[in-house]
């Protein structure tokens, strides 16, 4: 086998390494971590293959745990998939008239049905419906031209971060704990994560002084802070931001020249009544000019959460506020490289933002199904919080919103020592033991970020209501036995 001899010595040195040798791939890819499908999940999958019963509570994936899809959107999408049904005289025997009408309407939005690429920003008809939904929700009109549909909200988040991050001198403010898509994407695009800590003892509240301090520290290191992420309701923490908090945040971003990225995918998952969901955009517009006309904001939403729970459809959108037209053009350009978001996902988005109305044939069923799911989620939020709080050395804030519980596990020093021996981070060690003992697959808090020396795990509130008592029982048995096993006689005073 002959090797080409290059005239350049620089190149001949390189030629002996192959492109896909592990040390030759993009370091940013290696740096990016995404614990939600990381070590615990892989171990759980292994155990499942060996025949162990696993309860996957690692990801907000309602249908995988038995939640049923809502009937109406499924009827509409099925009819759109198979439009020949609409020509069949018997179609009315298995599909209600309003689903048939909706399917016809949505097909008319397309040029060629579900199988044609749409506009790279999404079908104009659906974007118009999203704008109308936002208008009804917030009381301010929204421009469909500034709403882009995406294959899930995650793709939109990644696209915006890629647009903002120029290099490692650019920092993005991210809450700690956070949903690790943000940390992973920032790593991937070579930016710097600037953490701001949420206050666990204040119900995961956001203290503006923490923010100021984080920004000052970052700037001192020479980082240009460009954007701030808020997740409202929070993931993994579930807290719902108050209007005052939102105002503070908006003012802060305005003063510090940051674009605000509002991850609002859990806006329909709120389990308390003191702080209902209010969108960042509404608060911003309520504040009036100049801030309402200048503060740059991108808001994200999805069909994966709420009561639809249609994760597998990959349907999402982002809405841009006060973004200059030239920047919008660049964002459009990048969207066009991927041609278009998947059209069935867009149909689900339409069904989400324009649900059946009172008087519609399918309204009663829609109301019953959606209410049923939300009421059950609220119940399960309480069951889980109370269940964790009844466990030894476990303290858990109430899940005000979203789909997760994020209890703090106060690990005794002996347990931490055992973890060290096993070569594992303490919460990973605990979660692996939990998994092996009970089949409950969680995500260790270190996957989301937490204060030094404080440990958590994230679980979802999604297991079926009737399974909850047994699951919490199983957890309590394991936890209390674990704590007894590792408890120092002096308590954990050495912590």
Site for other proteins in 189-208 (CB under 8 A): 189
The window from 278-286, 310-318, 351-359, 477-485 that contacts other proteins (CB under 8 A) reads: 310-318
Q: Is 27 in the site for other proteins (CB under 8 A)?
A: yes
Site for other proteins in 216-235 (CB under 8 A): 216, 219, 224-227
* Minimum CB–partner distance for residue 158 and other proteins (Å): 7
Q: Which of 50, 51, 53, 84 binds other proteins (CB under 8 A)?
A: 84
- Both structure tokens of 342: 């998947």
SS3 56: strand
Total residues binding other proteins (CB under 8 A): 119
Nearer to other proteins, 24 or 485 (CB): 24
The answer to whether 262 and 297 have CB atoms below 8 angstroms apart is yes
Q: Is 309 in the site for other proteins (CB under 8 A)?
A: yes
Site for other proteins in 319-338 (CB under 8 A): 323-324, 326-327, 329-330, 333-334, 336-338
Locate the DSSP E strands across 264-313: 297-302
Q: Is 355 in the site for other proteins (CB under 8 A)?
A: no
d(C-alpha 136, C-alpha 358), whole Å = 16
d(C-alpha 118, C-alpha 115), whole Å = 9
The answer to whether 445 and 455 have CB atoms below 8 angstroms apart is yes
The window from 85-93, 398-406, 450-458, 476-484 that contacts other proteins (CB under 8 A) reads: 85-93
Reported as type and span, the H/E element at residue 387 is helix 363-389
The answer to whether 155 and 8 have CB atoms below 8 angstroms apart is no
Nearer to other proteins, 215 or 411 (CB): 215
Binding pattern to other proteins, positions 274-303, x when CB under 8 A?
A: --------------------x-x-------
Q: Integer distance in angstroms from the first to the last C-alpha of the chain? A: 63
d(C-alpha 346, C-alpha 123), whole Å = 8
What does the angle CA 52 – CA 54 – CA 56 come to, to the nearest 5 degrees? Answer: 160
Nearer to other proteins, 75 or 397 (CB): 75
Nearer to other proteins, 179 or 430 (CB): 179
Q: Which of 168, 213, 255, 357 binds other proteins (CB under 8 A)?
A: 255
Nearer to other proteins, 120 or 474 (CB): 120
* Minimum CB–partner distance for residue 152 and other proteins (Å): 7
Which CA distances in Å does 443 have to 204, 222, 339, 428? 19, 33, 34, 8
- Both structure tokens of 336: 């066009």
Nearer to other proteins, 83 or 139 (CB): 83
Binding pattern to other proteins, positions 109-138, x when CB under 8 A?
A: -xxxxxxxxx-x------------------
The window from 131-139, 256-264, 383-391, 471-479 that contacts other proteins (CB under 8 A) reads: 256-264
Nearer to other proteins, 240 or 297 (CB): 297
Q: Is 258 in the site for other proteins (CB under 8 A)?
A: yes
Which CA distances in Å does 406 have to 26, 238, 366, 401, 460? 33, 8, 31, 12, 9
- H-type helices in 177-270, by residue range? 181-188, 208-220, 243-256
Site for other proteins in 40-69 (CB under 8 A): 59, 61-66, 68-69
Site for other proteins in 133-152 (CB under 8 A): 151-152
The window from 16-24, 353-361, 372-380, 393-401 that contacts other proteins (CB under 8 A) reads: 16-24
* Minimum CB–partner distance for residue 63 and other proteins (Å): 4
Is the dihedral angle over the CA atoms 440, 433, 480, 178 positive or is it negative?
negative
d(C-alpha 448, C-alpha 176), whole Å = 7
* Minimum CB–partner distance for residue 363 and other proteins (Å): 18
Q: Is 79 in the site for other proteins (CB under 8 A)?
A: yes
* Minimum CB–partner distance for residue 163 and other proteins (Å): 5
The answer to whether 367 and 207 have CB atoms below 8 angstroms apart is no
Nearer to other proteins, 81 or 390 (CB): 81
Q: Smallest Cα–Cα separation from 144: which of 135, 154, 136, 155?
A: 135
Q: Is 90 in the site for other proteins (CB under 8 A)?
A: yes
Which CA distances in Å does 43 have to 324, 415, 435, 459? 47, 20, 9, 16
Nearer to other proteins, 33 or 357 (CB): 33
Q: Which of 40, 57, 75, 100 binds other proteins (CB under 8 A)?
A: 75
Is the dihedral angle over the CA atoms 87, 89, 90, 91 positive or is it negative?
positive
Q: Is 22 in the site for other proteins (CB under 8 A)?
A: yes
No. of helices (H) and no. of strands (E), the chain: 18, 14
Q: Smallest Cα–Cα separation from 196: which of 171, 224, 215?
A: 215
The answer to whether 384 and 470 have CB atoms below 8 angstroms apart is no
Q: Which of 126, 194, 223, 259 binds other proteins (CB under 8 A)?
A: 259
d(C-alpha 134, C-alpha 270), whole Å = 18
The window from 7-15, 352-360, 428-436, 484-492 that contacts other proteins (CB under 8 A) reads: 7-15
The answer to whether 422 and 429 have CB atoms below 8 angstroms apart is yes
Site for other proteins in 394-423 (CB under 8 A): none
Nearer to other proteins, 233 or 341 (CB): 341
């Amino acid at each position: 086998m002959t090797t080409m001899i290059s005239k350049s010595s620089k190149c001949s040195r390189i030629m002996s390494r192959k492109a896909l040798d592990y040390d030759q791939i993009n370091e940013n890819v290696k740096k990016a971590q995404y614990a939600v499908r990381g070590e615990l999940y892989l171990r759980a999958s292994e155990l499942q293959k060996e025949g162990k019963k696993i309860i996957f509570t690692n990801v907000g994936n309602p249908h995988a745990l038995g939640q049923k899809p809502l009937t109406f959107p499924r009827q509409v999408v099925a009819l759109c998939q198979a439009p020949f049904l609409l020509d069949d005289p018997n179609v009315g025997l298995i599909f209600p008239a309003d689903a048939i009408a909706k399917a016809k309407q949505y097909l008319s939005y397309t040029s060629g049905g579900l199988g044609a690429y749409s506009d790279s920003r999404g079908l104009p008809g659906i974007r118009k419906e999203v704008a109308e939904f936002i208008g009804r929700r917030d009381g301010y009109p929204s421009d469909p031209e500034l709403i882009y549909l995406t294959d899930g909200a995650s793709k939109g988040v990644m696209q915006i971060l890629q647009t903002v991050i120029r290099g490692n001198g650019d920092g993005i403010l991210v809450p700690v704990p956070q949903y690790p898509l943000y940390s992973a994407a920032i790593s991937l695009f070579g930016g710097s994560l600037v953490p701001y800590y949420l206050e666990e003892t204040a119900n995961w509240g956001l203290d503006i002084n923490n923010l100021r301090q984080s920004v000052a520290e970052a700037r001192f290191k020479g980082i240009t802070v460009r954007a701030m992420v808020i997740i409202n309701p929070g993931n993994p923490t579930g807290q719902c931001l108050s209007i005052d908090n939102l105002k503070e945040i908006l003012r802060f971003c305005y003063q510090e020249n940051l674009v605000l990225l509002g991850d609002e995918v859990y806006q329909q998952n709120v389990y308390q009544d003191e702080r209902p969901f209010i969108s960042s955009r509404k608060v911003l517009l309520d504040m009036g000019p100049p801030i309402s006309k200048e503060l740059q904001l991108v808001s994200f939403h999805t069909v994966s959460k709420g009561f639809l729970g249609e994760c597998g459809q990959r349907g999402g959108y982002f809405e841009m506020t006060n973004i200059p037209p030239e920047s919008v053009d660049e964002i459009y350009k990048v969207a066009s490289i991927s041609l278009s978001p998947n059209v069935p996902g867009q149909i689900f988005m339409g069904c989400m933002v324009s649900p059946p109305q009172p008087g519609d044939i399918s309204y009663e069923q829609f109301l019953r199904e959606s209410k049923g799911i939300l009421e059950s989620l609220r119940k399960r939020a309480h069951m889980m919080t109370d269940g964790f709080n009844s466990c030894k050395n476990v303290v858990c804030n109430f899940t005000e919103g979203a789909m997760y519980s994020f209890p703090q596990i106060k690990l005794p020093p002996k347990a931490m020592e055992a973890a060290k021996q096993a070569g594992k981070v303490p919460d990973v060690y605990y979660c692996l033991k939990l998994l092996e003992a009970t089949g409950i697959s969680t995500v260790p808090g270190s996957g989301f970020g937490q204060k030094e020396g404080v440990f958590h795990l994230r679980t979802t509130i999604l297991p079926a209501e009737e399974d909850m008592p047994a699951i919490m029982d199983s957890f309590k048995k394991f936890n209390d036995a674990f704590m007894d096993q590792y408890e120092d006689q002096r308590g954990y005073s050495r912590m």
